[in-house]
A and B are shown apart, each in its own frame.
Chain A
Amino acid sequence: MFGRFTDPAAQAFSALQHEPIVLYTVVAVGIIFFLVLVGITLFGWWGTLWRNWITTVDHKRIGIMYVILALVMLIRGFVDALMMRMHQAVAVGGESAGYLPPDHYDQIFTAHGTIMIFFMATPLLFGLFNYVIPLQIGARDVAFPFLNNLGFWITCSGAVLINLSLAIGNFARVGWLAYPPLSEVSGSPDTGMDYYLWSLQLSGIATTIGAVNFVATIIKMRAPGMTMMKMPVFCWTTLISNVLILMIYPVLTVAFALLACDRYLGMHFFTNDGGGNPMAYINYVWMFGHPEVYVLVLPAFGILSEVVPTFSSKRLFGYTSMVWAILVILVLSFLVWVHHFFTMGGGIAVNTFFSTTTMVIAVPTGVKIFNWLFTMYKGRIRLEAPMLWCLGMMFTFVGGGLTGVMLSIAPADWQFHNSLFLVAHFHHTIIGGVVFSYFAGFVYWFPKAFGIKLNRSLGICAFLCWFVGFYLAFFPLYILGLMGATRRLQHYIEPSWQPYFIIAMIGAFIIALGILCTVLQLLLAIWYGFMHKGILPVHENDPWGDARTLEWSISSPPPAYNFAIIPDVKTLDAYWAMKMTGSKRKKTDFSDIHMPSNTSAGFFAGLLSLILGFALVWHLWWLVALSFISIIAVIILHSFVSDHNGYYLSSGDVQMIEDQFTTYLESKGIQA
């Protein structure tokens, strides 16, 4: 009946009892959660929350919810990072030197990696896809609006499930990719690994659903005239990134499922006995893991390819090169996974092959840097916050690429492997390449979503803090790696390492200031929304000026149906071309627009999958059966009601909404 709760080995509440840090965090999170609930009730927002957000199938609202989830998880993951940096700054000597015992420290670095990749970067990615892609291709929605809603709620339940482990049970202590046999029952008998497996399976399912949706959207729903080679680069990168997801997430799903079979059913895939082989898991997981890096970084390249031309007031240099480079990366990213374990003794042929392919992948990546560089060349560069993030990205990413190529040289990797040099390298590319770009995209598209820009000075402050903080936090790690410090050390004995760890900690705190600036920016924006009681007035379509793609041709925030009239695309950079040819926005004569209806099925399926995951972790078999059957029932029921899905927005309503925008433009004297 109570599954593992009655099993003392599972330590259901021991963290709360013995770790004051955990206790305070749980209490604080509880209080915040409670206050939010009270706030919603006091302001009477439950109705609107349910109708406009929880059950919505509007890609724009789902996108915003994804981004909110990602920002919350960013803070969660970043707190872990701060705790690690603070711990390592004092952990010289023995096990008791730092303030975290190994048991807790090991949970923290696992949580940091897992949450940042699966619950911060991926949702942020899907937030941007959701918001931007349909607008950029001139579509009214994604191909499967219900799946979109379902995907979001499953991601959300994955995030909730993995964070539940903070209070009930514990987090995994295995590193972010959970190598067996450490992650088998023999190495991790408690609930942490099970939380890890099921929440990541949920995240994987959601990501796959999202990827099906976006590939279908981009292939089938482009505006008439927008051929593949007239798509914005961000669409290209999104397409390829989602194709990658479709090819790699099944591998991860299988790897995790097999590990779960080992743990739950006593099978022998990755165990040391029964003929199992742990190295098989490492191969599967990196067949997923390496392309995953490109899943994250390709859209980042796409964002730069949108932002740099806008703020250089110039077209993107070498569009065709760019597209080819993306396609080359798609193919090559499958041929490099072994470089994550050159140190397994693979032999000359294996090492040479994977070392060479890894280096070759640096070529298309390097080409992109040149593309942006020559986009800036002979342009008119405006140093707004998004452009600063882009410049920071280009400057930092070439460095990350450099160390990446150093690591790709197998004999050199034999000295770098799993050292802090490696940690510094992938943060160099992930922070410098991915995070900076995502922030650029976030700041860039924020006014499209809400009508107002984020505070400029705070934005510049945020960038500077991140930029300086990054170099301070990670350059010491390069040196430490060369000094012989490996990753995931709970303590070390060489006093000469300590100064570097202290500098790294200072860097991490400067990054914290950067995050604080972003939070302040958002609070200002929320205050603005609060003043307007949540109904944001429309603003001009092209707040940055010189924007080039279709999303900037409609009001900010866009109406629910996006485009009153589906644009007809003739060239690349369709909106720029419209401005150049002086075409006028159509102000009357609209027709009815078909809209999909809201549905609560996604929310309930998500909630039930959370319960399913929780029941699996705690071996509550009756609840497993109950929630699994309920999920299937919800999906089947949905199929029976969705026949009558959708409604028509009358031409009169469209006229009214468009008139508001026309009035705004006329009041500002903007010709459009």
Chain B
Amino acid sequence: MSEPIQVENHCIHDHDSTKIFGFWIYLLQDLFLFATLFANMAVFSASYDIGPSGRDFIDLTFVLVETVLLLVSSITYGFAMIQLHRNSLVGMQIWMTVTFFLGLTFIMMELYEFNHLIHAGAAPWVSAYWSSFFVLVATHGAHVTGGLLWMICMFVHLSWDGLNTNNRTRMTCLSLFWHFLDIVWIGVFTLVYLLGAL
């Protein structure tokens, strides 16, 4: 080292950007996970066996409401992030609460739909089609539930520590996660519901 350059605290210097980058990488692998599930859905998209087809059961209006809820929740989360950049803790908490309840309603609707389908004879063990349907939609639902749990944790974090660096990073990651789930849902909506209803 002829001219050693002092890089102070190299490992924490840009730690937050590393965290966000790491989260992007995590999303990449999650994307592959969903891609496989989508492929799987396509493979079994006509394997109704002796069971009903998707067309017999898909209620597009219901799904449209679900979709709108989730898309709007993405927008409200965006508002929360704007408040974050304005350093307004209260504003952010309000928008987060709105997002949370939109997400919660989405999950409730999904659970209602599952319950309805299973009782109407379109259960996952009926045929490969319904197996793939349930696994794909439920995996997305599980992710959304995870996101909601994360939001609950964030409420606690925010009320304890306010807008410190750690919480800002966490909010950014959660934001990526939430928008990512939205994008995946658009895929689910198109491939499973729209095409399934035809």
Contact = CB atoms under 8 A, between A and B. Distances in A.
Interface of A: 139-141, 143-144, 208, 211-213, 215-216, 219-221, 223-224, 246-251, 253-255, 257-258, 261-262, 265-269, 273-277, 280, 284, 565-568, 578, 581, 583-586, 591, 593-594, 632, 636, 639-640, 643, 646
A276 B126 CA distance: 11
Nearest to A214: B25
B128 A274 contact: yes
B26 A212 contact: yes
B3 interface: yes
A568 B10 contact: no
A256 to B, nearest CB: 11
Given A144-B22, A257-B135, A275-B128, A568 B3 contact: yes
A274 B33 CA distance: 24
Interface stretch (B43-51, B58-66, B96-104, B186-194): B43-51
Given A212-B22, A591-B6, A268 B127 contact: yes
B41 to A, nearest CB: 11
Contacts of A277: 43-44, 47, 128
Q: Interface residues of B: mostly helix, strand, loop or mixed? A: helix
B22 A268 contact: no
Interface string B42-81: 0110011101000000000000000000000000000000
Given A275-B127, A284-B36, 12 more contacts: A144-B18, A220-B17, A223-B10, A246-B29, A250-B32, A267-B125, A274-B131, A275-B44, A275-B128, A277-B43, A568-B1, A586-B4
Interface in B112-137: 124-129, 131-132, 134-135
B93 interface: no
A568 B5 CA distance: 6
A269 B131 contact: yes
Nearest to B36: A254
Given A141-B11, A143-B18, A251-B36, A275 B29 contact: no
Nearest to A262: B131
B109 interface: no
B20 to A, nearest CB: 10
25 contacts: A140-B11, A141-B11, A143-B19, A144-B19, A144-B22, A212-B29, A216-B21, A223-B7, A246-B25, A247-B28, A248-B32, A249-B29, A250-B35, A251-B36, A261-B131, A267-B135, A268-B127, A274-B126, A275-B48, A276-B128, A277-B47, A280-B43, A565-B4, A585-B1, A591-B6
Nearest to B160: A640
Contacts of A219: 21
Contact of A639 (B3, B6, B153): B153
B166 interface: yes
A212 B125 CA distance: 35
A578 B7 CA distance: 18
Contact of B124 (A140, A215, A265, A578): A265
Nearest to B170: A639
A208 B31 CA distance: 13
B172 to A, nearest CB: 15
Given A224-B5, A275-B47, A261 B124 contact: yes
Given A269-B40, A583-B2, A591-B8, A643 B161 contact: yes
A141 B124 CA distance: 46
B128 A566 contact: no
B195 interface: no
Interface of B: 1-12, 14, 17-19, 21-22, 25-26, 28-30, 32-33, 35-37, 40, 43-44, 47-49, 51, 124-129, 131-132, 134-135, 149, 153, 156-157, 161, 164, 166
Contact of A265 (B35, B36, B125): B125
Contacts of B153: 636, 639
Interface centre among B3, B25, B28 (most CB of A within 10 A): B25
B29 A268 contact: no
B125 A274 contact: yes
A212 B25 contact: yes
A247 B22 contact: no
Nearest to A143: B18
Nearest to A636: B153
Contacts of A251: 32-33, 36
B47 to A, nearest CB: 3
A632 B149 CA distance: 10
Contacts of B166: 643
A573 to B, nearest CB: 15
Contacts of B47: 268, 274-277
B28 to A, nearest CB: 6
Given A261-B131, A280-B43, A139 B30 contact: no
A140 B132 CA distance: 45
Contacts of A640: 156-157
Contacts of B7: 223-224, 565-566
A275 B52 CA distance: 12
A142 B25 CA distance: 15
B177 to A, nearest CB: 14
A268 B157 contact: no
Nearest to B30: A250
Given A257-B135, A269-B44, A274-B128, A221 B11 contact: yes
A212 B173 CA distance: 15
A594 B12 contact: yes
Q: Please list the 9 inter-chain residue pairs (A to B) with the smallest Cβ-Cβ separation, ordered nearest first.
A: A275-B47, A250-B33, A267-B131, A275-B128, A275-B49, A250-B32, A266-B125, A216-B22, A254-B36
Nearest to A255: B36
Contacts of A224: 5, 7
B127 A274 contact: yes
A266 B44 CA distance: 16
Contacts of B6: 565, 591
Interface centre among A140, A275, A566, A639 (most CB of B within 10 A): A275
A212 B27 CA distance: 10
A145 to B, nearest CB: 9
B133 to A, nearest CB: 10
B1 A254 contact: no
A275 B50 CA distance: 9
Nearest to A271: B128
A636 B152 CA distance: 11
Contacts of B14: 220
B28 A246 contact: yes
Contacts of B127: 268, 274-275
A268 B126 CA distance: 8
Nearest to B8: A591
Contacts of A253: 33
Contacts of A266: 125
A219 B51 CA distance: 50
B164 to A, nearest CB: 8
B40 A268 contact: no
Contacts of B135: 257-258, 261, 267
Given A277-B128, A568-B3, A632-B149, A250 B29 contact: yes
Contacts of B25: 211-212, 215-216, 246
B128 A269 contact: yes
A208 B29 contact: yes
Contacts of B125: 265-268, 274
B86 to A, nearest CB: 23
